[in-house]
Chains A and B, each alone.
Chain A
Amino acid sequence: QKEVEQNSGPLSVPEGAIASLNCTYSDRVSQSFFWYRQYSGKSPELIMSIYSNGDKEDGRFTAQLNKASQYVSLLIRDSQPSDSATYLCAVPSGNTPLVFGKGTRLSVIA
């Protein structure tokens, strides 16, 4: 089973700051990378996908991919208390459509 690793946190940042969430993966042939957000007691929802090396921006969210280092990150600019959630990194691997990391819990302090 290929692995997806994330720091479990909690990661605490003050309101308005940049939150940086990191993910490493072991399957070198992976070509697609996804970030899901999960609020406490709710189901995961897709917030970002990235397929090419470099940065992809969507509003306050930026996904960064470095395939050589097998590293993908999610930056949240101008963090808001409503961003407090668990962020799950997910990567297709082998025969498994998506392998999820255990998630990083983010807390934005007002």
Chain B
Amino acid sequence: DAGITQSPRYKITETGRQVTLMCHQTWSHSYMFWYRQDLGHGLRLIYYSAAADITDKGEVPDGYVVSRSKTENFPLTLESATRSQTSVYFCASNPDSGGYEQYFGPGTRLTVT
């Protein structure tokens, strides 16, 4: 099916482990985004990408790494997970320059113990 998918949907990991969250879209949208959503903070941008091999930091990039070797994939890696990274992570995409009207994936709920 066309759209934007995220995997896994739920993940429990331990402090210090490396975790990669996957995001895949079938629309060939140029822009892709990673957000985290926490109670009291709302949606915060971690990283975004305007095209393959182009990435930029958002509001809360520390502790995260992204790559975009193909237009359709935008994985997010937590190099050494911390409890403060427990959150719901949303991937989104947008077809136009500017990245305004974004389409969100279903989210990944990550718990770091």
Flag whether B43 is at the interface (Cβ < 8 A).
yes
Q: Is the CB of A97 within 8 A of B98?
A: yes
From residue B10, how far is it (CB to closest CB) to chain A in Å? Answer: 12
Minimum CB–CB distance from B107 to chain A (whole Å) comes to 5
Contact of B42 with A43 in the complex, beta carbons under 8 Å = no
Q: Are A49 and B42 in contact (CB under 8 A)?
A: no
Give A99 to B56 CA distance when docked, in angstroms. 15
A98 is an interface residue with CB less than 8 A from chain B: yes
Most buried by B among A1, A42, A92, A97: A97
Pick from B40, B102, B106 the residue with the most CB of A within 10 Å.
Answer: B102
Bound-state Cα–Cα, A104 to B51, Å: 33
By a CB distance below 8 angstroms, the chain B residues around A88 are 42-43
Most chain B CB neighbours (cut-off 10 Å) among A92, A95, A98, A99: A98
The CA of A45 and the CA of B102, in the complex, are separated in Å by: 8
Residue contact A96 to B102, C-beta cutoff 8 Å: no
- Considering the chains assembled together, what is the distance between the CA atoms of A42 and B107 in angstroms? 8
* CB-CB under 8 A for A95 and B101, given A88-B43, A100-B43: no
CA distance in complex: A44, B100 (Å): 13
Q: Are B41 and A102 in contact (CB under 8 A)?
A: yes
